[in-house]
Amino acid sequence: MMALIGMYHVYYGRIRKHAPGDVVLLAVGLSGGLWVGWSNTTSVSVVSQSSNLISLRIPSTPSSPEWFLLCLYGHPKKSQRHILWEDLKSFAASTTSPWCCVGDFNAVAFPEDKSGGFSFDYHAAAEFNQMLDDCRLVDLGYHGPAYTWTNKRKRRFNIRERLDRAYGTLSWRSFFNTASVHHLPRINSDHCPILLNTSPAPRRISNIKRFEAFWFQHTEFMNIIREFWVISGDHSSFASKCESLLTQLKNWSRATFGHIDKELKKLMEELLQVQGLPPTDENLQRINELSDKFNEYTNHAATYWEQRAKSHWIRDHDRNTKYFHTRATNRRRKNHISSIKRADGTWTTSFEEISSCLINHFQYLFTASPTAPIMPAFRICHHPLTTEQNLTISLISKIATRLTGWKRDSLSHAGRLQLIKSTLASITVYFMSAYLLPKGVLEKILSIQRNFWWNNSEDHQSLMFTAWSNLCKPKMEGGLGIRIPERVNTSLIMNLTWRFLTQPHSIWCQLLSAKYLKANSFWLEKKHWNPSPIWSSICAVKKHMQEATCWSVGDGHHIKIWTDPWVPSIHGFRVMGLDHAKELVNRVADLIFHDSRCWNEALIFHCFPTHEAKAILSIRLSAERDEDQLLWLKTPSGNFTAKSAYNLLSQREPSSSTNSTDGESFNWKGYWQLKGISPRVHLFLWRILTKSLALKSSIARFNSSVDPSCPMCHLSLETYDHLFLKCDIARQIWFGSDIGLVIDRNDPLTNLRRIFNQWISSPNTLEIAKRGCALLWTLWKSRNRVVFDNAQIDITQIIREAHRIYHEHQAPPIFHGLNNTLIEATVSISNQNLSWEKPPPGTIKINVDGATGNNSIAAGIIARNEEGMVLACRTFFDGCWTGKDAPIEAEANAFLKGLELAAHYPNTPSIIEGDSKMIVTYITDDRLLFPWRIRSIILDSRQLLRSNPLSSVRFVPRTKNKAAHCLARQAINCKTSNYWILSSPCCISEVLASDDLISVI
């Protein structure tokens, strides 16, 4: 195939003598034109042809089916290129046979396919990639330099692009899996010839010795003949002289020319290597030298094959001299201005007038008065391209490339889901972590994701049986956990803002603070005029940060009372105070007695209204001096995570309806934790449970011509419960399987969702749920074969296939003999120690426990010696604790009170026991992060434990902590705090007697 047919039609006319079959489309001027030729051994038929496209049908062979070859030339004007794209999409929609297309597309797909010149045109590339996506075309790749076209100019004026390409469908690629595309060296054109090789060609080796005609092309050839003929003299016969001369010429040819084909290949490889280097002066000069030498050897090869082919068609081919003439002519024509349009609309070809017009134009341009305001123009152009859009628009092409149509067709819904998630995480995270992307870019990314999932294109819209918002909900709420790009972007910028707030001494934070904040508070600072994209993004998410950012009071020196958030129990975490208070106090440290580590209550009530004063006094101060810490209230530890920020943004959406149907909630947590089934089957069952399958009854709502009846029994509508449960075929399958489920078709309460909810909610029926998934999958596949292939239902085969699928994904059996022995031994030992144990001699054991109720927390503490005698009992009640974290706060407070009691026995070893293993770990392991709500309690507990080396903290089961538990419940019921020394309340008498009795036994 060749392009640019027109000025060289005489030359191609000669070539056509050698090609018995061909199609020619003449060029218009210097652009366009196609010529396709084929040998007489190939049976090729022309399907269609247009100004830029020739479609050929290639007949089938024993190794490949019938396929189509499309030879094309893209229009050089962008505005006209869409015509070819539409032709390709029409062809793709009209055939299911394998096909490929090759030619000069005159389009660049990705930024890396272009070097030099104007900036990359993302909009033109998006149209090109969209066409490839709609046609399901795969890039066949290439061997050789990356660029197939160059303008052959030097230095910064040099432009290189990959315009010549080859694409194929997946089916074509599967049949020609060894096909390769080669970028051949540019010799007489500004384009690289591209070679699509569908199969390797056999090597032809000839050992016949003969006189070579190309020897005449060497300047020293005749001198060698004369010297040999003179030196040989007249003593030898003519035949022997000729034989000796031929031998000497062969040696000379081997030393001078080498092997023609090998030398051509060597030159080609070297030329390809140099053409792939940057266009420096040295490299361009080297390219010219190699091109000249390549032309020389090409002439030798042409003569070589002309001598053997005995054909005259190749004699008059284009010689090397035209390469230089054409290159010089094209350069002169491109740089030469032959005519120019005057201001009055007429044209002139006079050199003097052309110069005058150019001078006058630029003089007017730089000396004229200011033009009219530009804003009226932007009122017409409603969406000007911003800098951020220009920087991030490349994301669209990258994501579209990753989520191409051929991948969509070859992946199941489970594969599509994984690819959507990985694409958003890997490609966009760098940009999204730096600044907020334009909404247009985010909406386009979301559109690409939706189209990839729903199998949509510009020309085809699939039916959607569930809302996209349901797919974006968390898995625990019945969704698939697909993240919305806008929320991901916002959560990542919130992470950047958190770093700005918590790392004030880093260089970038100091720079932003000095430029925008100066000495002002971040929370009250207004948006600056013309800020940087990073600072503008940080300011945009400030309102989201204010919802969950609060200071934890340590020494109070870093917290500003009137601007910073620091009171968790007040809405917005900020205090208003009284009018006169702002002149009295400024920092939270001003409200604290630092020696006793307590609040200055008199000053607080003097500066704040009553409700704010009580909220401040409810903040517990740690006895240990600690620095103030900024907390993120949406995580237990107080550390910021992008996941928690995303969840915060998602909570503003209306509640999901996928978690409940007909008033019943579904155990989605148990469903997604179900192991031993393939991801494809897992997602298929999700589509059943959320009613997002393409059942006939669902399709009939959009298309009245579709028969909504069940394709297996034709007795009822094809609903979810009927198809998978109550159809006669389905009932026989469920009963005949290993599950043996009997289904009453007349029971309105029997539905698939309720059955699976019961199975996955009990550990004893998880295996039944797995078998049920396999049955549903095979039943659905059989139903599809009935609908699309007119197959017959085989109940036995369905059950057998479901049995095979179930066992395919089960883990191999593990030997549990030794483990069971250990477990039995452990159980027997634990059964012997279910009650309180006396401490070692000379040791005090202090049992602690917490309790909650009625928006209050309480603690119970009891201390006993080695004889079981009660040394002290205490109960603590606090009615100010509310919220979901109250239980852990109660347990932590109980351990703190126990350590405080142990401090009264400084010279006696003490053991503090409680039934909260989590609190024990927080106190004993300094490396662990703990919930921010109990920060001061844990810090004080650690300090008490360090100050009393004879004390230890450990975990015990609830059965060994009954006395402390009863004391804590007593405090909740009585709502009071009490203290007993060497005695105990009557409410724990029975527990103490039981503990003492069992300890004695």
What pLDDT sits at residue 31?
A: 65
Contact 129, 109 (CB under 8 A): yes
In Å, how far are 226, 243, 327, 599 from 239, measured between CA atoms?
17, 6, 49, 123
Largest CA distance in the chain: 143
pLDDT digits (tens, 9 = 90+) for 52-80: 899 999 888 877 889 999 999 998 888 88
Give the containing element (helix H, strand E) for 56. strand 53-58
From its phi and psi, is residue 32 left (phi > 0), alpha (psi between -120 and 50) or beta? Answer: left
Give the containing element (helix H, strand E) for 36. strand 34-38
In Å, how far are 649, 655, 742 from 485, measured between CA atoms?
12, 20, 46
Q: How buried is 749 (Cβ within 10 angstroms: 0-12 exposed, 13-18 middle, 19+ buried)? A: exposed
What pLDDT sits at residue 521?
A: 82
What pLDDT sits at residue 307?
A: 60
Q: In which residue are the tokens 């009250």 written?
A: 524
What pLDDT sits at residue 275?
A: 76
Name the E strands within 329-422: 340-341, 347-348
- The DSSP secondary structure of 162-227, one letter per residue, reads --EEEEEEHHHHHHTTT-EEEEPPPSSSSB--EEEESSPPPP---------GGGGGSTTHHHHHHH
Angle between helix axes 485-502 and 642-650 (nearest 10 degrees) is 130
Amino acid, res. 524: L
Partnered with residue 716 across adjacent β-strands are none
The DSSP bridge pattern shows strands 660-661 and 664-665 to be: antiparallel
DSSP 722: I
Neighbours of 707 (CB within 10 A): 13
Contact 434, 385 (CB under 8 A): no
d(CA 650, CA 640): 16
Angle between helix axes 78-94 and 122-135 (nearest 10 degrees) is 10
d(CA 518, CA 534): 17
Tell how far CA 407 is from the center of its chain.
15
What pLDDT sits at residue 967?
A: 94
Q: In which residue are the tokens 């042809």 written?
A: 49
What would you report as the CA-atom Rg of the chain, rounded to the nearest whole angstrom? 42
Residue 449 corresponds to which tokens in the numbers above? 């994701």
Give the containing element (helix H, strand E) for 114. strand 114-115
In Å, how far are 152, 186, 277, 942 from 284, measured between CA atoms?
9, 13, 9, 74
Residue 479 corresponds to which tokens in the numbers above? 């969704």
Contact 807, 874 (CB under 8 A): no
What pLDDT sits at residue 886?
A: 83
Partnered with residue 46 across adjacent β-strands are 56
Give the containing element (helix H, strand E) for 780. helix 766-789
d(CA 176, CA 138): 13
| Dihedral (Cα; 248, 253, 255, 259), 10-degree rounding | -140
DSSP 228: H
Residue 771 corresponds to which tokens in the numbers above? 């078998």
Residue 801 corresponds to which tokens in the numbers above? 């296939």
Q: In which residue are the tokens 């690409």 written?
A: 448
The DSSP bridge pattern shows strands 194-197 and 910-914 to be: unpaired
List CB contacts of 226: < 8 A, sequence separation 6 or more.
none
- The DSSP secondary structure of 498-529, one letter per residue, reads HHHHH-TTSHHHHHHIIIIITTS-TTTPPPPS
Residue 772 corresponds to which tokens in the numbers above? 């049920």
Q: How many CA atoms lie within 13 A of 405 on its CB side?
A: 22
d(CA 502, CA 44): 72
What pLDDT sits at residue 282?
A: 84
Contact 34, 6 (CB under 8 A): no
Residues of the chain scoring pLDDT < 50: 2-12, 14, 18, 202-206, 309-334, 374-375, 377-383, 813-832, 1000-1001
In Å, how far are 30, 322, 326, 334 from 329, measured between CA atoms?
12, 10, 5, 8
How many helices and strands (H and E) does the chain possess? 39, 28
Tell how far CA 176 is from the center of its chain.
31
Q: How buried is 405 (Cβ within 10 angstroms: 0-12 exposed, 13-18 middle, 19+ buried)? A: buried
d(CA 811, CA 820): 19
Tell how far CA 782 is from the center of its chain.
34
What pLDDT sits at residue 658?
A: 53
Amino acid, res. 855: N
Q: How many CA atoms lie within 13 A of 501 on its CB side?
A: 28
SS3 241: helix
Tell how far CA 238 is from the center of its chain.
80
d(CA 606, CA 586): 14
Q: Which domains does the chain have, with CATH numbers?
A: 2-197 (3.60.10.10), 219-333 (no CATH), 386-546 (no CATH), 549-633 (no CATH), 660-808 (no CATH), 838-1000 (3.30.420.10)
